[in-house]
Chains A and B, each alone.
Chain A
Amino acid sequence: MVKLSFRLRPRCLTVALMAMLLSFAIAAPAVTQSSVRPPDDAVNTGQEPGLTAPLGSESDSDIWRRIKQGGAGATEGEAAVMPSVPGRPVNTFGTVLDELTAVQGGATSSSGHGRLIQTLGEDWRLIRRNYILPYTGWIFLGVVSLLALFYIVRGRIAIKEGRSGKMIYRFSMSHRIAHWFLAATFILMGLSGLIVLFGRTALVPLIGKEANAVLASAALQGHNLFGPVFILALLILIVRFMRGNFFQLVDLKWLLKAGGLLGGHASSYHYNFGEKSWYWIVVLVGLLMSATGLLLLFPWITDKLVWHQLSTILHAGGAILMICIALGHAYIGSIGMEGSLDSMLRGEVDENWAKEHHDLWYEQATGKSAGHDGDKDGAGDATAATEGAS
């Protein structure tokens, strides 16, 4: 049987303790430098000149920040000069604006001249991540919730007098085809665009990265392919619907009455203020979407990176704006208001619907009074004009 024994040896113990203390003393600074990260607001007390501190008492982070910010300096053919610090914009939008307003040939992040580090990509990424994705997502969900709430509270807006059974011709076949052609391509563009924009945020947790990659690829191909078709449909709609969509004085009265929501009757001609506004939003934002989309589809149009980055920002913002208003438009044109869908589906509307919502147009179209003569804000004018003319 082996007998285990332990005998304390003071000399060995002393040597071991000294060795341990010495190793701690040597390792301590290294451990502090490599794994302990100082807080963001820590004050740098200065370092010894050397490889990591070429300007002596200047801190590394200050030096790298200056290099990153750029400014007057030389990078081509001359010895690099430490740039004077112009002061970096505190928000990333400022950087983008700086890039846009930079003179031709000047120092920009896009061109790469005059800067050792290109920061615009990071700024763009931050705008996209910190502003576009969260805000547009919440705006989109907010609009959907508002519409649902409005439907629950207000219900379907019925024709006050009920349906008369007599129909009036309102939209021609070419109007309807132009409208639905744009609507169909808009739905395709909207769905594919939302997948591209929110896929990583909203779909990956639900379907996983692999499926999202497939879906994103499909959506991008579809989006790029349907884009020119959307532009064609948009141009057809702009031309076909321009007549009657210029603002008139009666639209201001309609606006002041909030389209009748605040009580009383709000008169309008063929299109009311809301419809005209929607038309011009489609025109302006649609053209902006087309222009930015084409720039993204054909990036060789310009070699300035900032234009591409700005295009993605405007494209996403414009898309969310159009989708949100289109949801409202689709709501009021279908389940939200009785008789509205007939105008775009059949090209005809019920007479009572026309009297209620487009009385001045009704009087123009039929030569009959819409029965809003008590309304001093315009109703009955057309009748008077018609009668005067005859």
Chain B
Amino acid sequence: MSFLHFVEGPFFYFSAAVFVVFAIWRLVGIIRIGKKPDLAPPRGSAAAGFVKGNLRHFIPRAIFAERTWMHLVAGYAFHLGLFVVVFFAAPHILFLEERILGFGWPALPRWGFIIVAEIAIAGLIVLWVRRLSDPVMRLISDWDDHVGSWLTFLVMLTGCLAMQEAHDPLRAIHMLSVNIWLIYFPFSRLMHGFTFFLSRGATGASYGRKGMNP
């Protein structure tokens, strides 16, 4: 078994299993924490607050617009770009179809994939630079944030370097970094990809129940 077969085969299935099992385990754990019963009579809907809290946080409040526009743009560029690259790049769709799902869907043209990848990479670089440059961000960032950022960057970088699809070692390195990323994901702050709606929702529900705008 070649190294490529190993990282695309057994190691990938193991990494994917760790990713799925422990991500679910953490989500269930968070949901099961629950909260203390609120004895005060409700003045609004907690469920509506949950939804509103999620939607409301997609756009910054006007008073913060000027000082947040840069990482807002970079944040959307990176996250949306990463989503599109992961799920709409032709090699990824083919891989998922062959290895897991058994079906595929239309892929982005190559030029579209390249543009989106560039946007995502630019966004990630700006976000990481901000993490270093902003005194508050620097203070609240620990090694987990940096490792998460760098692992994600490594996955994207190795993917870009393997774009010619002409050398097995480059593909193997990309898959290796993907596997490491999948294993690291559930145990790190990368989990915010799944938990953001819970935290936003919890805040929104709390405010909503009090009849306030989240």
> Which A residues fall within an 8 A CB radius of B?
173-174, 176-177, 180-181, 184-185, 213-214, 217-222, 225-226, 228-229, 232-233, 344-347
Contact = CB atoms under 8 A, between A and B. Distances in A.
A222 B70 contact: no
9 contacts: A177-B133, A181-B122, A181-B129, A214-B170, A217-B166, A219-B161, A222-B160, A229-B121, A345-B132
A229 B166 contact: no
B125 A184 contact: yes
B10 interface: no
A225 B126 CA distance: 17
A228 B160 CA distance: 14
Contacts of A228: 118
The secondary-structure label for the interface of chain A is helix
Contacts of A232: 122
Interface in B158-187: 160-164, 166-167, 169-170
A173 B160 contact: no
Contacts of B122: 181, 185, 229, 232-233
Contacts of A229: 118, 121-122, 125
Contacts of A220: 164
Contacts of A347: 133, 135
A345 B164 contact: no
B167 A225 contact: no
Interface residues of B, number: 25
Given A180-B129, A217-B170, A218-B161, A174 B70 contact: yes
Given A173-B70, A181-B125, A226-B121, A221 B133 contact: no
A177 B117 contact: no
Contacts of A225: 114, 117-118, 121, 160, 163
Across the A-B interface, the 3 shortest Cβ-Cβ residue pairs: A218-B161, A180-B129, A176-B133
A316 B117 CA distance: 26
Nearest to A218: B161
A222 B118 CA distance: 10
Interface string B98-136: 000000000000000010011001100110011011110
Given A176-B129, A221-B163, A226-B121, 14 more contacts: A173-B70, A177-B126, A181-B129, A214-B167, A217-B166, A218-B161, A218-B162, A221-B161, A222-B160, A225-B160, A226-B118, A229-B122, A344-B133, A345-B132
Interface of B: 67, 70, 114, 117-118, 121-122, 125-126, 129-130, 132-135, 157, 160-164, 166-167, 169-170
B49 to A, nearest CB: 32
B164 A180 contact: no
B169 to A, nearest CB: 5
Contacts of A233: 122
A222 B122 CA distance: 13
B214 to A, nearest CB: 27
Contact of A177 (B70, B118, B135): B70
A179 to B, nearest CB: 9
B169 A180 contact: no
Contacts of A174: 70
Nearest to A175: B133
A180 B167 contact: no
Contacts of A180: 129, 132-133
Nearest to A227: B118
Most chain-A CB neighbours within 10 Å: which of B118, B121, B122, B126? B122
A206 B47 CA distance: 64
A340 B161 CA distance: 34
B167 A185 contact: no
B170 A218 contact: yes
A345 B133 CA distance: 5
Given A173-B70, A173-B130, A218-B170, A185 B125 contact: yes
Nearest to B157: A222
Contacts of B125: 181, 184-185, 229
Contact of B167 (A213, A345, A346): A213
Contacts of B117: 225
Contacts of A185: 122, 125
Contacts of A173: 67, 70, 130, 133-134
Most chain-A CB neighbours within 10 Å: which of B125, B162, B163? B125
Contacts of A214: 167, 169-170
